[in-house]
Structure formats: structure tokens, C-alpha cells
Structure 1
Amino acid sequence: MFVNAPTTQEKILMWGNLRYMVDKLMDIRAESKKKLADNPSLTIGDVTTINLTMLSGGIQNNVVPEKLTASFDIRIALSVDQKEFENQIRRWCTEAGDGVTFEFEQKDPYVAPTQLNESNAFWVAFKAAAEKLKISMKTCTFPGGTDSRYIRELGIPAIGFSPMSNTVPGLHEHDEHLRADTFLRGIQIYESLIPAVANV
């Protein structure tokens, strides 16, 4: 999401408009961090995550820019109403001052999560195969964008799984990697799980 603030003759006022929006969104980030700290059973997929990823504007130090833009990566928790969240941002833009706007670079519709219970034959088969392999699993909502959202949008249940035991997640980090033995063990695990789910 991009937040745009127009300039005025006073740089402080211009930054104040944008800062109002930055502060509001960073307040949500702080609340989410507190929820995670206060409840160890929660995972990052249980809260709305907000990261300020880019600030841009201007061409040089002594020229007032036409506008300032702040870019945020926002992953909305399943418990948050997307329309209300967007309306709140719209209200904050109005409160921030004239000409403050926002736009989405990417906006996905809400899609209900896959049910992980006895009503889902794929989950039952997946879980049974994992238990047979003595794999200890923890289910959670994955906050990243995966192709499963498109499958779920068609009404087809989707389960994401990564056999990365004893591995600190480093998704999209500059040195993302797996140990060779973890990678090879993952292949063996998939050789059991995929046929179990495919034969439902």
C-alpha cells in the first residue's frame, strides 16, 4: 500500500501529514507485536503485520518535493474485517490533511481459510500420513502470499506444508538456505504425504 502526501510551502507541515499516517500504521504494528509477546501460542499469522518498506520523494536536499510517499507491506489477520480496515485508513487520510491519499499495489480479496478438521478429507489423509511418519506439526496461518489463495478462492481446500525441521525460518532473507540433510529428508516426507493426499 502506498500513502501519498502533497507538499506545501512548509516542509514540516508536509512531513506532518505523512507522519500522521506512518504513526497510525506503526501503532497497529506495535499492538500486534505486543499481542505476540503476551501470548506465546499466537503466531505471526494471527496478527496484522505492517512493515514500512520504502519512503520516497524529492530530487535533492534543498528542493521541496512535489509529494512524499510511504510504502507499507501489510498482511491482514483473518480476524480483521478488510473493508473496515480500508475504511479506517481512508478516515486517517482525511484526518491527516488535504490531498493525503492511499492506493494498493496489490490487494487480495478475503478468502476463507481451509478447515483443518474431520470435515476435510484431504486434511484427514495428510494428518494420518504425517502421524505415521512421526512428524510433529503445528498448524498456523501463513501470512505470506502463496498460490493457495487462488485455489481456495475456487472453493478447493489448500494446505501449505514445509518439512523444515530444526530450521530457523529465513524466508526472503539474503542468505535463505536449508541444510542438505533437511532438504533430502523433506523429499522423503513428500514421497509419503503426496500419495496419501492424492488418493483421497
Structure 2
Amino acid sequence: MATIVRGNASLLWLLILWSFLVFCPSTSTSNNENLAISNLQKYIQIRTDQPNPDYASAVDFLQRLATDNGLESKVLELVPGKPIFLAWVQGSNQSLSTILLNSHMDVVPVETRGWTMDAFAGIVENGRMYGRGTQDMKSVTIQYFQALGNLLQRGWKPDRTILVSVVPDEEIGGTQGMGVFVESEEFQKWNIGFELDEGLANPDSFMWLYYGERQPWWLVIGAIDQPAHGATLPNHTAIQRLYQVEEKILSFRQQQQQIAATEAGRTGEIIGVNLVYLRSGVTKDNDSFVMNMVPGIAELGLDIRVPPRKEYSRQLNRKISEWLGCAEEEISNWSGNCSHYYYYRFVHKVDIPRVTSIDPLENPYYAMIQSVFEELSIPYQTAIFPASTDARYLREKNIPCFGWSPIHSTPVLLHDNDEYIPIDIFLQGISIYEKLIATLGTWKEKSPNNNDSSSSAIPPHEEL
């Protein structure tokens, strides 16, 4: 597809100018860099937005990308219609565990009225590429492949196998993507010892390195009371009872906001609570409401994010029991009733508080990342990721993981309107990945028990 550029000058002139910049060698931009920019545009132009991602076109593109960069590849389909794409560079020492570089194919939907340009065109304007997935996380996928291709062009041969996985459905929980992959025989064959996954952009000049992530608790709370005629004035109604609970929830949310205001950039270390829906009313066949009926049921949904520490899970269980008037031990169940008037149900709940060690003496993978960042003079800080990624599935298998996207000096725009990545920062990320992958791929040390399998090589996790 054609490269698309917008600006203040005439479209024709900019198209000619950009074509010259992309296709003609220059002192500032190499052929490989031009190729990476073009590939990111092509990937953005493939519609992998939920709820109907075009995975077939994405896989075709990824297969060509792997071949062009000298990687072997294969496609798994553990769930029909949900392909998992694998590409790799074979290591020379098969006794060493594999380094996994993970990304996901799907992106979130776009609200077109909020975008000032086509979200699926890969438009380049003022040194930025715009499009859904430029931050989350198609840019990282292209960086993986381009970095590996650049290394192989220079004759690099890793000791460890480097595996790239591009999985489906991360944006809707990942259960039919990475979730099924980690349980498969195919996954076991690769002997994964370490994984890199996605991070976040940062408006500051440093980068975030995430060693854990908040756990999603998706909770439904309902209130029940007698339905009534709209002309009556009952003492209690389901909506009224739910409103009383909602007030308590919003008060707790405000407390967390006050804590967040003093912890800039570290929202992963507070409990996040968002009200995502309210539902009540008696409806007709055409979904319009019956206006003279007081409903007997009212319901709300919460997206709660819990830092990966046991103390936070205990605190939240206490809070939910206070909101509903339950005994605390009841909330450990997936669903239940509280008194005569309330019920709750967890749609999704992850309560496995695992993090990856950031002690360089304990975790050699962290020590290597630290050394690369120091060598390249890259400022960074460690933190808990505020949302969820596919890395959680590997942490549950005791595989050390870090979330990191090489995007600094850029606002966080994943899932937002006019998502973009600066071209220079995108290209810089490729160079960083080259150094990082080369370092990880040539580390030869085995564990003291001489078994370099993923969970026994090092003690990378702390359960807090």
C-alpha cells in the first residue's frame, strides 16, 4: 500500500518528497531504517482491531517479514481462527534455554470521531507515524524482526535460540492466545528461560521497565428488592440499594486517586477501580424502558486492578465485604449472595501475586538488561505495569519476564485517539533491541544444578 503523508504543503509535493526520503539512500536514514518504517506502515494498515481482527492477513505479512529477515517460522492454530505466529533464530547450544520476544497481533477498536486522521493508514506527519498499534504494540513487533535481521546481516550467530511469538487476542484477555500457548506441548519444546513483553510509552526522557503487573478483577455487583408500580413510593428499591454501594466504591476510588497524585507514573502500585457499566430498568421487546415500573434488580460492573502483592488482595477482599455487608471469607469465592439484598460475581479474577526479581545478583537477565542500558546511557526506572499483558501467563509458569517498550519522550496513547510513535524513537528502539538481543543471546551461564530449564535456572520470582 502507498506511503501516506500529510502536512501543510501540497499533498503532491509531500508525496514526492517522502518517496525520495524512503526510497533513496541518505546520510541520515539507512535502507534498513526505511524498510522498518515501511513495514510498520504496512502492519498498521492491516485491520487487526477487535472484535473482528484480520489475523489471516497479519500472518501472511509476518511470514514474509520473517523470511525477508532470515528467520524460520511456523503458524500454530491451537484455537480455530486464532493463529499464533512463531519465528526464530536457532541457537548453537541447544542445552541453553530460549529467549522469547513476545508481541500481539490484535489492537483495540477505534472511535473514528476522536481521530483527526485515518487510524489504519500509517500516516507520517511532522516526524511521527500515526495509527492504531503504533504504541500498542505493532511497533515493537517490527523492531524485533528488524533488529534480528540487522544482526543476522552482520553474521551474528546466537548461542541461545531467539524465539519471536506474535499472538492473538491479548486485547481481550489472551486466554485463547498466550493462555493456550503456555499450556501446549509446543511451548514446552522451546524450553523458554526468559521473556520480553510490552511496556508503556513515557512522556519523560527515561523508559519504564516493568517487573510485574496489576491483576485484573472484573466484578459484577447486583442489588435486589421488590419491584413496584411507579406511582408508589417504596421505602427501599434495588436502585437505591445499589446507589448506597456505589457511593462507598467511589469514595474508595477517590482515596486511591489521592495516593496516585503523589506517585506520578506509578499507578501500578495502587488499587485501580473504575465503574464500567450501570444496568437496571424493566424493558419492552424493543429494548425501550417501561416508565411506570420500579425495577427489582440493579447491577454495576467494576474493572479493578490489584497490585501483585498479597496485602493488596487481602485489603480488597475486606473492602468488597464492607461494601456488601458480607463476611470477608465469602468474597474469596467466585460468586455469592450477601444478606438478602446483594449478590456478586467475578467475571475474571487473577490472584497469583508474582513479580520478577530486580536483584541483579539473583536474576542474571535483569543484570544483562541493566548492563546494556548503562552501556547505551539509557535512563530507566522499574515499576509495576498498571494493566495486564500476556507476560502474566509466563510468570505463572515461573518464567522471568520484563515488560518494556522503547518509547520515551512520548505521551501514553495506547487505546487513545491519534496514537503515534515518533519515527526517530522507533528507529532508536531497533538499535537498542539489537544490543539487548545480542547480549541475551550470547549468555552461556547455566544454573548451579546444571539444568537450564525455565523454572529451575534461577529463582526469578518473589511472591509477596
On whether the aligned pair clears a TM of 0.5, the verdict is yes
Give the alignment's Cα RMSD to 1 decimal. Answer: 2.3
| Contact 2:237 2:294 survives alignment (8 Å) | no
Query: Which 10-residue stretch deviates more, 172-181 or 79-88?
Result: 79-88
Tell me how far apart the structure 1 counterparts of residues 388 and 409 of structure 2 sit (CA, whole Å): 23
Cα deviation, residue 52, structure 1: 0.8
| Contact 1:113 1:152 survives alignment (8 Å) | yes
Q: Find out whether 1:30 has 2:261 as its counterpart.
A: no
Tell me how far apart the structure 2 counterparts of residues 22 and 149 of structure 1 sit (CA, whole Å): 30
| Contact 1:111 1:149 survives alignment (8 Å) | no
Cα deviation, residue 91, structure 1: 4.2
Report matched runs for 1:158-173 at 5 Å. Answer: 158-173=401-416
| Contact 1:6 1:67 survives alignment (8 Å) | yes
Give the TM-score, by structure 2 length.
Answer: 0.40
Query: Which 10-residue stretch deviates more, 87-96 or 134-143?
Result: 87-96
Cα deviation, residue 47, structure 1: 0.5
Cα deviation, residue 116, structure 1: 0.6
Cα deviation, residue 127, structure 1: 1.0
Tell me how far apart the structure 1 counterparts of residues 224 and 435 of structure 2 sit (CA, whole Å): 57
Tell me how far apart the structure 1 counterparts of residues 257 and 315 of structure 2 sit (CA, whole Å): 21
More strand by share: 2
Q: Which amino acid aligns with 2:321?
A: R
Alignment match, 2:272: 49
Query: Which 10-residue stretch deviates more, 89-98 or 151-160?
Result: 89-98
Q: % of aligned pairs identical?
A: 27
More helix by share: 1
Report matched runs for 1:1-200 at 5 Å. Answer: 1-8=219-226, 9=228, 10=234, 13-37=237-261, 39-40=262-263, 43-58=266-281, 59=283, 60=289, 62=291, 63-79=293-309, 80-94=311-325, 98-118=340-360, 119-200=362-443
Q: Which runs of 5+ in 2 are unaligned?
A: 1-218, 229-233, 284-288, 327-337, 444-464
Q: Which runs of 5+ in 1 are unaligned?
A: none
Alignment match, 2:147: none
Cα deviation, residue 182, structure 1: 2.1
Decide whether aligned partners of structure 1 residues 33 and 175 sit closer, same or farther in structure 2, where only a CA change above 3 A counts. same
Decide whether aligned partners of structure 1 residues 150 and 134 sit closer, same or farther in structure 2, where only a CA change above 3 A counts. same
Give the TM-score, by structure 1 length.
Answer: 0.87
Tell me how far apart the structure 2 counterparts of residues 7 and 124 of structure 1 sit (CA, whole Å): 58
Q: Which amino acid aligns with 1:35?
A: I
Cα deviation, residue 42, structure 1: 6.5
Decide whether aligned partners of structure 1 residues 97 and 191 sit closer, same or farther in structure 2, where only a CA change above 3 A counts. same
Tell me how far apart the structure 2 counterparts of residues 176 and 12 of structure 1 sit (CA, whole Å): 47
